[in-house]
Structure 1
Amino acid sequence: MTPHEIGALLAYVGRLDPRLVRTDEHEAGDQIGQWYELLEDVPAVTPHGWDARVAARSHILDSPYPIMPVDIARRWRAYQRDRLERHTDPTPAADPDDQAAWQAELVATRQAVASGAAQPVAHRQLVSGPPHPDVEARLRQIGSCIPPAVREALAPYRPARAAREAAVAHGHPDPLGVRCAWCHARPGEPCRRRRVGPDGRSRGHAIRAIPHPGRLELAAEQARQLPLPATA
């Protein structure tokens, strides 16, 4: 702020808190000089949310003590910290091989955000809605979110899912589509080995690569009960 802007700020604060009013011209000049020493780097107002008069008014409402220039300076620093914490550096337009230009653009962007001249750039968030047309076209092309080559590479690490996919591919009913009466696995979950100790309590819950026979029979029975597709 310039001395003229600080004089206007003091006149505004004096209307809200008469304790800061200086009637003597020499004392008023000293007061402006004192405030200018601490608020020289603080703007009076920025395009995005900072106003020194609002900061002064908030302090007068919150504190019973007369406002000091350091109170406004501290609020300005808190304003800068908040903006930088919400800012994510966008990729500079400069050549990445030109390290000096790359760093200079990053510094200039951060200074603009901290000074209130630009808005913080936040992380892009996932939003609800239909998938992108490119994603839909890709899914129609490969038939799944996981390409076949990747699915084959993951099969040794997902034996239960691999067995389920193999059964469905060969025209067998999906055993994980029903609840298991033995281990009580819910639909979509693999079966687990239940080892019962002498006290009747379960001792193990390891995942089975192959569903329990009763679950296979239940899936086959439900598949037989499904109505056949209508023929022309």
Structure 2
Amino acid sequence: MRLRETVALLDRVGTVDGRFYRQLTDASSTEELVTRWATALEEIPATLPDGSWDVSRVVRDYYECRRGDNSAQYRSIEPHDILRAWARHCDARMQRHTDPIPAADPDDLPAFLAELRTTRTAVATGRAAPVEHRALTGGSNPDIEARLRAIGTCIPPHTRTELARFRPVRAVREAAVVAGQPDPLSVRCDWCQAPEGRPCRSRRVRPDGSVRSNAPRATPHPSRVDLATAQHGREAAA
């Protein structure tokens, strides 16, 4: 904040909180107050271009959240209250930020990290807008749209094949759809009582009839496949 912005901020505080100016007894105390606030808030911007931050709004919020309280029960605002609000604002910005890939050569580690730190600092201090996840697919991007038209999905086929061994149930469902067969998990399993969308389970019982294990199956029960096929046939006939 520039000095004139600090003075304007102090004038706003004095307008909201009548106690603020009562602590000033002479010109030297006024100068000391302005100097103290200007030094503490030197690195804090008064506003940000995107409107997400306004230091005068911090002052208003500080007093409005105490509306209805006895004035003797809370203190006047101090620089550290604004610094705390700015820290929360920076943290919220960084929570929305996704680091873009630096233009520097990854093999040049010092340059790569320096660019990364510079970008993060610019976002945290409000000099740059956060780069959010939705920017990858949000809006109109001809390259992304052309790729989606070419492969028909956000996940390339070879990647989907690699993922199949880590999610066997989904792989079975996708294979059935590709083969033109009904999705077996679209119906409830009468054998193990698995609901729609959930995999079948293999129940092992002890001699006394109690359940020993109830592990999920990679493939659905045959009766569930038959039920899904019959339902698919009825829907096709209708």
TM-score, with normalisation over the residues of structure 1?
0.62
1:10 equivalent in alignment to 2:20: no
Letter in 1 for 2:63: I
In structure 2, the CA distance between the partners of 1:94 and 1:15, relative to structure 1 (3 Å rule), is same
| 2:63 aligned residue (60, 63, 72) | 60
Letter in 2 for 1:32: V
Q: 2: CA distance between counterparts of 1:4 and 1:100?
A: 39
Q: Give SS of 1:74's match.
A: helix
* 2:107 equivalent in structure 1: 97
* 1:24 equivalent in structure 2: 26
Residue by residue, what CA displacement relative to the aligned partner does 1:114-165 show, whole Å, maximum 9, x if unpaired?
Answer: 111211112248989xx955445446xxxxx867xx59x97xx89xx5xx97
Q: 2: CA distance between counterparts of 1:97 and 1:70?
A: 42
User: Percent identity over the alignment?
Assistant: 38
Residue by residue, what CA displacement relative to the aligned partner does 1:68-101 show, whole Å, maximum 9, x if unpaired?
Answer: 1121122112222221222221111223333333
Q: 2: CA distance between counterparts of 1:8 and 1:187?
A: 63
Letter in 2 for 1:55: V
Q: 1: CA distance between counterparts of 2:118 and 2:92?
A: 18
Unaligned runs of 5+ in 2: 67-73, 139-143
Q: 1: CA distance between counterparts of 2:208 and 2:64?
A: 69
| 1:46 aligned residue (25, 45, 48) | 48
Q: Shift of the alpha carbon at 1:108?
A: 1.7
1:73 equivalent in alignment to 2:83: yes
1:33 equivalent in alignment to 2:35: yes
In structure 2, the CA distance between the partners of 1:204 and 1:13, relative to structure 1 (3 Å rule), is closer
Q: Shift of the alpha carbon at 1:62?
A: 2.6
Q: Give SS of 1:93's match.
A: coil
Unaligned runs of 5+ in 1: 140-144
Q: 2: CA distance between counterparts of 1:210 and 1:15?
A: 71
* 1:108 equivalent in structure 2: 118
Q: Give SS of 1:18's match.
A: coil
Q: Shift of the alpha carbon at 1:112?
A: 1.1
Alignment root-mean-square deviation, CA: 4.8
TM-score, with normalisation over the residues of structure 2?
0.61
Residue by residue, what CA displacement relative to the aligned partner does 1:42-84 show, whole Å, maximum 9, x if unpaired?
Answer: 2222223222111112112234311111211221122222212
Q: Say how many residue pairs are matched.
A: 208
Q: Shift of the alpha carbon at 1:19?
A: 0.9
